[in-house]
Structure 1
Amino acid sequence: MKPVVFAAALMAAIPLCQSSLEAKVLRVAPPSPVIDLDPHGPNGTLRDTLLANRQIYDPLVEFNNGAPVGRLATAWQQPDPLTWIFTLRKGVKFHDGQAFTSADAAASIERLVKQKGGFAPLWAALDKVETPDAHTLIVRLKEPVGPFLRNVSLLHIVPASSAKEAGDKYGAAIRLPGTGAFKIKTFRPGQILELEANTSYWDKPPTLTGLVIQNIPELTGRVTALLNNEIDLMWFLPDDQVTALKKNPEITVSVAPSALYYYSWFNPQRKPFDDVRVRQALWHAVDVKRVVTDVLPETGEVAGAPISSAVFGFSHRPQYEYSVEKAKKLLTEAGLPNGFTTELQYSPSQGPELEQLALAFISYWSKIGVKVTPAPLENPVWTKNLRDLNWDMTMASNPSFTEDADYTLGRLYTTKRSGYESPEATKHLIAAQRETDQEKRKQIYSAAIDVLWNDAPGIFPAELKAVYAYRKNISNVDFSATYTPRFRGTEAR
């Protein structure tokens, strides 16, 4: 099946008032729009791209309560540190009718790695892929990879023929068949994605007849749509809305552990943030505990690491002491006794209280002479600037999609993606990547967190709780810790 370039007239938007009770169509409104469905492209790491892809595609394995569970693979083994052998499920078909084989898994890996962006860095140690028969996949590595199965859980499988025809094209113009519980019906990037049930799904077919993921830009609009029965499910709610919705008899609010946290990075590629004393001063200048208590009383808690406590590798550290005196002393030592002027970029869609956090931080920084201009941006603009290191300071939420520290710490702090680099941190993080003994990996991450906490590439104020609000007729909701739930088991009564 050839990739398809979407035309503007592909579809008419589904009316918000359509009853999910009649059609058993689940209507969801994520906090930011789905702009791309390409599972191997540069936007594959966007939360809402992954959300969509988890409905359309299957990986070889998933993780449930920290343990790997077979999906398109029924068994796997590691005969030596550099080799993984997967036995693949038989009788699976793609949405276009093609039978799933090892060639498809191999082609999906190769397409992902070739692109280099997105999730490709997770496969940097790949040597080659072999397919000795239709249902055996052998992955050979150049070096051991401690979180290998976690990384595999983010590999979505497409037909080899489609991967070949896509060639070097990636992005929102590409449509590729999957094997998942839902099939693409229509898609208008940034507006609406309509999926229909895959009634021939190899696993238990969904009871839903379809799924609509639609963009409602404003939080108040999403809440109003939920209350008016125009959508069935939303998430990423601020504390005041959580309190109000809990009192509504038509709405269920569920809170679960989260792999998300807030961060405020400083760009060490730009002065004066290349000086660790400046970065530490900015952290000491903020009363993090008070800000988190005031802004996130129900949906957050004070962070103790640059990852969430729900993520493998977490090791708790005390927050920086709030001290204006210490902050000013550090700035003076850095040659900035009168402070400086800078800018803080953020996208409000990155979190319901993100703007409140940003403005609170800016207020505290003003007390040490650092004048910060708030720069709220649309999410696509913010994302591009982030990747291009086109910022002085930036604030956002960040998930560990694999729920392993390597995805966050190893991916962000060994590749200059945050602008930060440290030989000592890199040494620890690479060691953790290559260690296959999971208990030893925990110890290594503890040492890496020490370095990052002291070097202050940013402030890590809070980890978040996963809050979902949905209509009472909806059940079996997947309370994903990364806000990328799978809806194959969700029901609408």
Structure 2
Amino acid sequence: MKIAYLLSAPVLAVSLAVSLCMTSVQAKTPDDQLIVGMSMNNLLSLDPAAATGNDVTEINVNLYDTLVELDPANTSKLLPGLAERWTVSPDGKSITFNIRKGVKFQSGNVLTAEDAAWSLQRVLKINLALASSWKAYGFTAQNVEKQIRATDPNTLVIDLPEPTDPKLVLYTLGSSVSAIILDKKKVLENEKNGDLGAAWLTTNAAGSGPFILNEWRAKDVLLMTRFDGYWRGPAKLRRVIMRHMTESQSLRLMIDRGDIDVATGMSVPDIEAMKTNPNVAVQAVKRGNVYYVAMSVKDPRFADKRVRQAIRDLIDYDGINKTVMPNYGLYHQRPVQMGLPATLPDPGYKLNVPAAKKLLTEAGFPNGFKTTIRVLSDAPFINIATNLQATLSLGGIEASVVSGTGNQVYGAMRDRNFEIIVGRGGGGAEPHPHSSLRSLVYNPDNADAAKLTNFQGWRTSFISPEINALIEKAEVETDEKKQLAMYQEVQKLYDTQVGAIIPVSQMVDTVVLTKNVKGYVGHPSATTRLREVSKAK
């Protein structure tokens, strides 16, 4: 189906131009347009309070602005955004932002601190997935208007409801799509039945960013055009077109022919083939998430530390990272993402069948046992699972691989109804140890009734009061050296206690670009901004 059949009249000419480009082997996309091939399967809503996943983040940071940004070259460095500057109170309990004057939304409305306060409050009031980070800091729908407020048109104050490291909050403001600033007046003009504009924002935008949303057709195409009134100055590109493409070979063919400028989601063989193409560049973007093998401690077998350690000894880390993970991940065995000062060197786990058999015998399973591995049917997850299935069999464990959709796999994990899962997770977006540990390790209440589904540690039923207490203490420690030592001690304890989530590799997102694309810098937190991207003529 051609794009032109699905677009409205104002964008018909653009769509026809793109379609015509695809008829020539020597095709070349327009110099002032960026054509992106990507999967939109997980793009369900554009509402910043409801949207999850890297794809929607990369779209929304080009339609909207945030108070601060994370430097893509050094994500620990905060850069000004809508906030020209900010100060943290001496006691670490309050952050004050000076909002830049003269910024206008794409509607023409003036952006003020009230828009910023309302946008952040709205996330808690709607209370969907994106509220999780804020609730972890102690914000609630009931207290958020008091804790986050505009004291004048250019001053925003965030008072922290609970003790935490204010850097964590700043990193969330720079990395989470929930921190996007909305045009309050425009959104409320489209409110229905008190939904705070949720229905309208599913397919529309009300931002101040460098690009204006023209049209989005689910699982088809998304079109953005340059906002000439952007406060930083107009973007270098006039238009960005994102096309839904899921077949790796199609992406490879189209970028090879010049029909698209950027391709994401390509398979490893096609990426490797592209590396030999002189007309393209391959950019690997390191993310903070990790690929892991997880066990349910609700299962009596995996409640035994010796069995968990045996599983850890039956993972072929070297083989997986050499044969399965190129262009998907980098060798990593710690629950804290690599590259942070607090991250310890890898503990050096190796496939060790004799050690695993000895542990299984001591645990009462000299002949192993039967189990299941739940996993997504997509690469590299399914490939990790089949590799794991083979090495588990060396220790006498007969594992059946059960593949499915995200809801089937992670839904079972959220319900604590699984045995082994191959998955991917971790805070990751914020360059802070607490982000990863909160997601993968921390479990403040192990009761089923607690339903702490956002904590993957809770999903596994693994709980360590000692580790929990140390994570909580480190979060509020103001002495950086002491805090660093605490986070390192958490990793050592997790190693000796054999946590239920075993990291195998840290996520890499590989993007393929035509050589004439200039200034494209993939961001580790998925906040890839296109305002400085251009194309050589």
Global fold match (TM > 0.5)? yes
1:422 pairs with one of 422, 442, 464: 464
Provide the aligned length of Structure 1 versus Structure 2.
482
1:72 pairs with one of 67, 72, 82: 82
The change in CA–CA distance for 1:326 and 1:144 in structure 2 (over 3 A counts) is same
Once the two structures are overlaid, the 10-residue window that deviates more, 51-60 or 67-76, is 51-60
Query: Counterpart in 2 of 1:224?
Result: 253
2:138 pairs with one of 125, 139, 143: 125
1:61 matched to 2:85? The reply is no
8 Å Cα contact 2:327-2:510 kept in structure 1: no
Once the two structures are overlaid, the 10-residue window that deviates more, 104-113 or 403-412, is 403-412
2:172 pairs with one of 130, 148, 151: 151
Equivalent positions of 1:35-114 (< 5 A) are 35-41=44-50, 43-44=51-52, 46-64=53-71, 65=74, 66-79=76-89, 80-114=91-125
What secondary structure is seen at the aligned counterpart in 1 of 2:524?
coil
8 Å Cα contact 1:259-1:311 kept in structure 2: no
1:113-148 deviations in Å (ceiling 9; x for gaps): 234443323223335122110110011112332212
What secondary structure is seen at the aligned counterpart in 2 of 1:462?
strand
Equivalent positions of 1:141-290 (< 5 A) are 141-146=160-165, 147-153=168-174, 154=176, 155-161=179-185, 165=191, 167-168=194-195, 170=198, 173=202, 175-235=204-264, 237=266, 239-290=268-319
Deviation at 1:379, TM superposition (A): 4.2
Write the distance in 2 (CA, Å) between the matches of 1:484 and 1:341.
43
Deviation at 1:264, TM superposition (A): 2.0
Deviation at 1:447, TM superposition (A): 1.5
Query: Counterpart in 2 of 1:3?
Result: none
Structure 1's unaligned 5+ residue stretches are 1-7
8 Å Cα contact 1:260-1:481 kept in structure 2: no
The change in CA–CA distance for 1:233 and 1:108 in structure 2 (over 3 A counts) is same
Write the distance in 2 (CA, Å) between the matches of 1:21 and 1:85.
45
1:207-260 deviations in Å (ceiling 9; x for gaps): 212222232223233222322323211245555434321211221123454434
Deviation at 1:174, TM superposition (A): 5.4
The change in CA–CA distance for 1:32 and 1:289 in structure 2 (over 3 A counts) is farther
Query: Counterpart in 1 of 2:352?
Result: 323
The amino acid that maps onto 1:450 is K
Write the distance in 1 (CA, Å) between the matches of 2:33 and 2:67.
27
1:357 pairs with one of 379, 384, 400: 384
What secondary structure is seen at the aligned counterpart in 1 of 2:302?
coil
2:492 pairs with one of 450, 455, 462: 450
The amino acid that maps onto 1:280 is Q
The amino acid that maps onto 2:83 is A
Write the distance in 1 (CA, Å) between the matches of 2:329 and 2:205.
37
Query: Counterpart in 1 of 2:448?
Result: none
Write the distance in 1 (CA, Å) between the matches of 2:409 and 2:341.
28
The change in CA–CA distance for 1:59 and 1:381 in structure 2 (over 3 A counts) is farther
8 Å Cα contact 2:203-2:216 kept in structure 1: no
% identical aligned pairs: 24
The amino acid that maps onto 1:443 is A
Write the distance in 2 (CA, Å) between the matches of 1:387 and 1:186.
35
1:186-206 deviations in Å (ceiling 9; x for gaps): 122344322222221111321
When the two chains are superposed, the root-mean-square deviation of aligned CA atoms in Å is 2.9
8 Å Cα contact 1:238-1:299 kept in structure 2: no
1:362-385 deviations in Å (ceiling 9; x for gaps): 111122232222233344654544
TM-score by length of 1: 0.88
Write the distance in 1 (CA, Å) between the matches of 2:407 and 2:247.
16
* Structure with the greater alpha carbon radius of gyration: 2
Write the distance in 1 (CA, Å) between the matches of 2:235 and 2:471.
40
Query: Counterpart in 2 of 1:27?
Result: 35
The change in CA–CA distance for 1:63 and 1:210 in structure 2 (over 3 A counts) is same
Once the two structures are overlaid, the 10-residue window that deviates more, 216-225 or 432-441, is 432-441
The change in CA–CA distance for 1:491 and 1:314 in structure 2 (over 3 A counts) is same
What secondary structure is seen at the aligned counterpart in 1 of 2:159?
strand
Write the distance in 2 (CA, Å) between the matches of 1:197 and 1:479.
20
The amino acid that maps onto 2:213 is I
Query: Counterpart in 1 of 2:438?
Result: 410
Once the two structures are overlaid, the 10-residue window that deviates more, 167-176 or 77-86, is 167-176
Greater helix content: 2
Write the distance in 2 (CA, Å) between the matches of 1:362 and 1:471.
39
The amino acid that maps onto 1:83 is S
The amino acid that maps onto 2:532 is G
Write the distance in 1 (CA, Å) between the matches of 2:359 and 2:186.
56
Deviation at 1:67, TM superposition (A): 0.9
Once the two structures are overlaid, the 10-residue window that deviates more, 103-112 or 319-328, is 319-328
Write the distance in 1 (CA, Å) between the matches of 2:295 and 2:20.
45
Write the distance in 1 (CA, Å) between the matches of 2:110 and 2:424.
39
The change in CA–CA distance for 1:339 and 1:255 in structure 2 (over 3 A counts) is same
Query: Counterpart in 2 of 1:4?
Result: none
Deviation at 1:56, TM superposition (A): 1.5
